[in-house]
């Protein structure tokens, strides 16, 4: 078991033996990667080269692309040119760190894959070889993939378990490398080296000798560089300006560890607002180290020329170690993570916490001053993350001899969305515009730096920041790009200033590995983004109606004036073209396109389609901008109210009086009218005028007639002269909508005590508020029916059997003025009849008629004869009489004016109906009863039958003449036994034409029966005897 080998996610080392590798100097290259949670170590890294090469045959299972198991040897061509291998049976802490595939190469490529499936679900390539030997070194080899043509014959591998690390490193390190910092409270350099001079040597020995793709996107030759100038650029300009401020901030304060240190700056925005930004030191430095030159400066990479080390072997193993200050209780993931419990740094480093005093001793022997920092760690501020401790860790790096990895594969580029246009820098002087494009590098993470160049329309042009700028005494080089990591697991780069070209644009993107070896360029093209639509127009609309011209048909009602402001480029979306034209559609009719000038206005006069008289409606207006490229804006859909100013025609009226309802308990009467709708009327205004006031306005006295219809006639005829609304009372409005009968309905309540005739004037109003002349609208006479009742009449009832019933009604005290209001009419009476003594007002009405008179004393009389055959004998009846004044006519006597066609009429009833008066209170009751003059006849002869049990059954038929009605006749039965007097046995109601009665046993022989009929008033007729 190899103790204290760190998890690769915290401390990983890698190595290659570069010989003739493009962009990489010849020699052994060591590279370490650190997790920001542990940061940089307390002292420089120590590295030992191990001369160990003990291989074995690992347990490997190959499968083809369909998952079928393969057995070595096998030809790739026979399995579809694809196979994957998985290593089995290896302890997690003793993985294979070197592997070689024995293969015949006929166009073969073998990839070393990451043993863990990434977030995107695919396989991440760690290294590739497209030529023999097919050999790889890595911290944990678990998966392989073979593609192309060739034969896989066998595999040999070396396990980390073969490394006797403790034995091999108990000697002086082969080299050290670390931060370019002097001794401080958080770092100790190699005491035998000047840290800054050591950094300079690391840079010089591996300085670039040819331009990278970002610095030479055209690939022009010669592309060689001056290594001395490249080194001077880093040491004298890039490091002092971009790196050293972070180093000073991170390692300057004993009270704050570099893993917690922040670097901030304050500036002012273009709007003069204070802007403060801070960033963590350690992650920022590790991000800068993606550039191998910066990694060498920071002591995260070292190079050993071949001349200073033993020649490369198939497996060149390096052990790299250091000690860290850590807070094992620092929470890395809060309890809100999917596992529901907090995860600490100690939890993640659990496998590396075995006692390692021997390793501590070895490190302390080479970096003794670090022991002073370690001894002081318990006294350092915890900052809420628990106590400090130190932790020695090791990492294993294996260079696969003369088999350095191939350059990385080109990215599989894709658009991360359509391009977007940039705002014009100077809208007042617009240019052709620029746009921006985001490009996805795919789901596989970049293995190192990213190079980005625009090849068209103005390229090749590197899209990197060049530092230092040209002309400042240094070579100017592109700073590396670190792609954004988007939420959808895509890595993104963006060109933010693409010139406009009809053919769009194209780019080339490269990636490098961690040692600086660049991939081939990946091309990407994108069409010019679609131009955004012009903004939706804003329209000011006004309407001017044409005046009344007396016409009655369809006509153009008026004119719209439309004002549309034309936006300049400052008010359009970025990338939008100037507005060049305007399209309008008014009321469904397209108008000729209008030219437009940005920043100006367009005024258009337009007419709607013809309207009817008084018509009003919303006229649809559609306005659309047209830009210089023919693009259309979103249509502005609006409506503008238009109306025809002609007034609707007046409604015809008639002089016939229309009656309201009777006054109710509240003292109000309902007036309900109806009339046919008038063309163009959206509503109707209703006015009420009193006859006396209107007569006064006319300068004429009110007619001295008790007949209100006669009073109304002269005022109705003079209605055109009543032009002043002041003499009328405004009642309200009726909607122009019609009821189900197709007519306009209006109802209102007026005082029920009005005695004089009233006049209604209905004025139709158009939607444009036009109405006919007030005087042209006729008057409708209306009146409230009289509420006067005559006194209750007297009622006499006389009954004679031979003649029948005579009822006499006498009405007295009738008012002459109310009689005069209905000339030629007579008071009316009605009779109520009931067989029960109930409330007289609820007795049913039996008949009605007119009274005659008056006689000398002013009485009115009515007589009703009821013949005997209409009366039921012996039934008592109660009679009540009511009288009322004669109905008031709707027209003057002798006249019969017809209702106006299409005019105003009553909602209930018909125009011309009279106004019937109210009935008086009922009279006192008069009673009647018809009594026949004689007693009833003897009953018919019965049929007598003696039964076997000794009883006697008596049957009597033909009794229909004795059925009186509600009060029945009775049949009395008598029996006289021999030697005894006659005795009454029963009295039976005669309710049918035949009766049967049984005399219960025993009945002595010789008994005689007498039968007699008794009427309802108790008169008994002759008897009929039977034996």
Can you tell me the distance from the alpha carbon of 296 to that of 298, in angstroms, rounded to the nearest whole number?
A: 5
Q: Which helix (H) or strand (E) holds 827?
A: none
Pairing of strands 505-511, 522-526: antiparallel
Helix (DSSP H) and strand (DSSP E) numbers for the chain:
12, 60
432-526 and 59-162 share a CATH fold: no
Q: Give the model confidence (pLDDT) of 723-775 as tens digits.
A: 999 999 999 999 989 999 999 999 999 998 888 899 999 999 988 788 999 99
Mean pLDDT of 646-657: 91
pLDDT for the residue numbered 447: 79
Q: Report the percentage of the chain scoring pLDDT > 90.
A: 62
Q: Which helix (H) or strand (E) holds 197?
A: helix 195-205
Mean pLDDT of 613-625: 93
Q: Give the model confidence (pLDDT) of 456-512 as tens digits.
A: 998 899 999 999 999 999 999 999 988 665 555 668 899 999 999 999 999 999 999
Q: Locate the domains of the chain by residue range.
A: 11-46+174-399, 59-162, 432-526, 539-643, 658-783, 794-928, 943-1026
pLDDT for the residue numbered 121: 46
Can you tell me the distance from the alpha carbon of 962 to that of 965, in angstroms, rounded to the nearest whole number?
A: 9
Q: Give the model confidence (pLDDT) of 569-611 as tens digits.
A: 888 889 889 999 999 999 999 999 999 999 999 999 999 999 9
pLDDT for the residue numbered 119: 42
Q: Give the distance between the most distant pair of CA atoms in the chain.
A: 177
Residue with the larger pLDDT of the pair 146 and 968: 146
pLDDT at 896 over 80: no
Beta pairing partners, 601: 565
Can you tell me the distance from the alpha carbon of 905 to that of 656, in angstroms, rounded to the nearest whole number?
A: 9
Residue with the larger pLDDT of the pair 485 and 261: 261
pLDDT for the residue numbered 339: 66
Q: What is the CATH architecture of 59-162?
A: Sandwich (2.60)
Out of 1.10.3470, 2.60.40, 4.10.640, 1.10.150, which CATH number does the structure's domain 658-783 have?
2.60.40
- Which of left, alpha, beta for 150 (phi over 0: left; psi -120 to 50: alpha)? left
pLDDT for the residue numbered 289: 96
- Among 440-449, 509-518, 895-904, the range scoring the smallest mean pLDDT is 895-904
Q: CA dist 395 to 8, 94, 161, 346, Å?
A: 8, 12, 13, 18
pLDDT for the residue numbered 768: 79
**Phi/psi at 1026 (nearest 5 deg)?**
-155, 150
pLDDT for the residue numbered 1016: 84
Mean pLDDT of 679-687: 92
What CATH code would you report for 794-928? 2.60.40
Mean pLDDT of 403-418: 91
Can you tell me the distance from the alpha carbon of 834 to that of 880, in angstroms, rounded to the nearest whole number?
A: 9
Contacts of 545 (CB under 8 A, 6+ apart): 557, 558, 642, 643, 644, 645, 768
pLDDT for the residue numbered 1: 43
pLDDT for the residue numbered 122: 58
pLDDT at 241 over 90: yes
pLDDT at 880 over 60: yes
Terminus-to-terminus CA distance in the chain, angstroms? 146
- Under DSSP, is residue 888 helix (H, G, I), strand (E, B) or coil? strand
Q: What is the CATH architecture of 943-1026?
A: Sandwich (2.60)
Mean pLDDT of 338-359: 78
Domain 432-526 has CATH 2.60.40: yes
Among all chains, which residue has been given the structure tokens 């916490």? 353
Mean pLDDT of 110-115: 92
Beta pairing partners, 274: 268
pLDDT for the residue numbered 803: 86
Q: Which two tokens stand for residue 823?
A: 């000339």
Residue with the larger pLDDT of the pair 122 and 203: 203
Q: Give the model confidence (pLDDT) of 535-547 as tens digits.
A: 999 999 999 999 9
Nearest Cα neighbor of 541 from 602, 609, 597, 596 is: 602
Can you tell me the distance from the alpha carbon of 99 to that of 144, in angstroms, rounded to the nearest whole number?
A: 10
The 8-class DSSP code of residue 117 comes to -
pLDDT for the residue numbered 120: 45
Q: Hey, what CATH class is 539-643 in?
A: mainly beta
Contacts of 117 (CB under 8 A, 6+ apart): 123
Mean pLDDT of the chain: 90
């Amino acid at each position: 078991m190899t103790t204290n080998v760190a998890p690769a996610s915290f401390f990983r080392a890698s190595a290659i033996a570069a010989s003739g590798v493009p962009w990489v100097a010849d020699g052994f290259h060591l590279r370490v990667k650190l997790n920001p949670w542990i940061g940089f170590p307390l002292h420089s890294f120590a590295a030992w080269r191990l001369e160990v090469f003990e291989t074995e045959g690992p347990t490997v299972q190959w499968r083809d692309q369909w998952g079928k198991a393969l057995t070595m040897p096998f030809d790739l061509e026979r399995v579809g040119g694809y196979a994957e291998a998985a290593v089995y049976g290896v302890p997690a802490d003793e993985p294979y760190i070197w592997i070689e595939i024995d293969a015949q190469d006929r166009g073969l490529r073998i990839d070393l894959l990451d043993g863990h499936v990434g977030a995107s679900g695919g396989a991440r390539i760690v290294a590739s070889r497209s030529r023999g030997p097919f050999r790889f070194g890595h911290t944990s080899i678990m998966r392989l993939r073979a593609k192309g043509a060739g034969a896989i014959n066998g595999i040999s591998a070396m396990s980390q378990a073969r490394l006797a690390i403790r034995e091999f490193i108990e000697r002086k390190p082969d080299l050290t490398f670390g931060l370019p910092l002097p001794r401080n409270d958080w770092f100790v350099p190699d005491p035998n080296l000047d840290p800054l001079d050591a950094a300079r040597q690391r840079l010089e020995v591996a300085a670039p000798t040819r331009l990278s793709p970002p610095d030479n996107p055209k690939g022009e030759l010669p592309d060689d560089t001056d290594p001395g100038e490249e080194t001077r650029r880093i040491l004298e300009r890039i490091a002092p300006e971009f790196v050293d401020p972070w180093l000073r901030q991170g390692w300057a304060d004993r009270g704050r560890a570099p893993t917690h240190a922040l670097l901030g700056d304050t500036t002012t925005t273009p709007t003069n607002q204070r802007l403060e930004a801070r960033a963590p030191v350690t992650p920022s430095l590790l991000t800068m180290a993606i550039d191998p030159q910066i990694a060498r400066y920071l002591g995260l990479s070292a190079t050993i020329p071949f001349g200073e080390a033993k020649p490369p072997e198939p497996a060149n193993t390096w052990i790299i170690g250091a000690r860290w200050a850590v807070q094992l209780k620092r929470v890395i993931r809060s309890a809100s993570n999917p596992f529901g419990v907090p995860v600490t740094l100690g939890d993640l480093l659990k496998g590396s916490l075995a006692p390692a005093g021997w390793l501590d001793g070895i490190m302390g022997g080479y970096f003794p001053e670090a022991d002073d920092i370690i001894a002081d760690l318990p006294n350092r501020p915890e900052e809420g993350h628990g106590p400090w401790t130190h932790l020695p860790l090791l990492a294993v790096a294996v260079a696969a001899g003369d088999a350095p990895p191939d350059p990385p594969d080109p990215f599989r580029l894709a658009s991360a969305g359509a391009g977007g246009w940039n705002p014009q820098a100077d809208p007042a002087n617009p240019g052709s515009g620029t746009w921006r494009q985001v490009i996805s590098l795919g789901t596989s993470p970049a293995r190192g730096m990213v190079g980005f160049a625009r090849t068209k329309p103005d390229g090749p042009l590197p899209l990197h920041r060049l530092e230092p700028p040209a002309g400042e005494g240094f070579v100017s080089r592109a700073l590396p790009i670190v792609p954004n990591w988007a939420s959808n697991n895509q890595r993104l780069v963006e060109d933010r200033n693409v010139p406009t070209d009809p053919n769009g644009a194209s780019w080339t993107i490269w990636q490098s590995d961690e040692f600086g070896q660049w991939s081939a360029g990946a091309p990407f093209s994108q069409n010019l983004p679609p131009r955004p639509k012009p903004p939706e127009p804003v329209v000011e609309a006004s309407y001017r109606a044409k005046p009344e011209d007396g016409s009655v048909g369809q006509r153009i009602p008026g004119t719209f004036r439309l004002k549309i402001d034309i936006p300049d480029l400052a008010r359009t979306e970025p990338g939008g073209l100037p507005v060049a034209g305007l399209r309008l559609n008014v009321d469904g009719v397209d108008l000729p396109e209008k030219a437009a000038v940005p920043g100006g206005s367009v005024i258009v006069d337009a007419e709607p389609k013809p309207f009817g008289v008084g018509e009003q409606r919303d006229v649809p207006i559609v306005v659309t901008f047209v830009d210089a490229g023919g693009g259309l804006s979103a249509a502005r859909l609006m409506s503008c109210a238009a109306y025809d100013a002609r007034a609707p025609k007046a409604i015809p009226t008639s002089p016939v009086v229309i009656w309201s309802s009777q006054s109710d308990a509240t003292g109000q009467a309902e007036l309900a009218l109806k009339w046919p709708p008038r063309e163009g009327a959206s509503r109707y205004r209703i006015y009420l005028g009193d006859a006396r006031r209107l007569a006064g306005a006319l300068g004429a006295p009110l007619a001295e007639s008790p007949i209100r219809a006669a009073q109304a006639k002269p005022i109705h005829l003079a209605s055109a002269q009543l032009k002043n609304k002041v003499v009328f009372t405004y009642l309200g409005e009726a909607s122009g909508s019609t009821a189900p009968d197709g007519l306009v309905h209006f109802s209102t309540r007026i005082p029920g005590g009005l005695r004089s005739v009233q006049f209604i004037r209905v004025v139709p109003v158009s939607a444009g508020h036009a109405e006919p002349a007030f005087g042209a609208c006729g008057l409708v006479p209306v009146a409230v029916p009289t509420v006067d009742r005559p006194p209750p009449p007297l009622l006499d009832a006389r009954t004679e059997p031979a003649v029948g019933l005579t009822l006499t009604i006498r009405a007295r005290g009738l008012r002459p003025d109310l009689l005069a209001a209905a000339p030629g009419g007579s008071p009316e009476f009605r009779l109520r009849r009931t067989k029960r003594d109930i409330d007289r007002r609820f007795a049913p009405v039996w008949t009605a008629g007119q009274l005659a008179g008056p006689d000398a004393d002013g009485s009115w009389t009515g007589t009703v004869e009821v013949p005997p055959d209409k009366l039921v004998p012996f039934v008592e009846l109660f009679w009540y009489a009511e009288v009322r004044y004669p109905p008031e006519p709707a027209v003057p006597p002798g006249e019969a004016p017809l209702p106006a066609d299409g005019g105003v009429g009553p909602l209930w009833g018909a125009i011309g109906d009279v106004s019937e008066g109210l009935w008086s209170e009922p009279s006192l009751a008069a009673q009647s009863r018809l009594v026949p003059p004689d007693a009833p006849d003897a009953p018919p002869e019965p049929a007598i039958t003696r039964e076997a049990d000794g009883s006697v059954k008596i049957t009597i038929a033909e009794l229909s003449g004795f059925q009186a009605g509600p009060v029945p006749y009775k049949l009395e039965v008598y029996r006289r036994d021999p030697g005894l007097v006659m005795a009454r046995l029963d009295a039976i109601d005669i309710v049918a034409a035949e009766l049967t009665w049984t005399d219960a046993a025993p009945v002595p022989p010789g008994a005689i029966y007498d039968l007699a009929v008794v009427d309802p008033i108790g008169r008994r007729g002759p008897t009929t005897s039977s034996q």
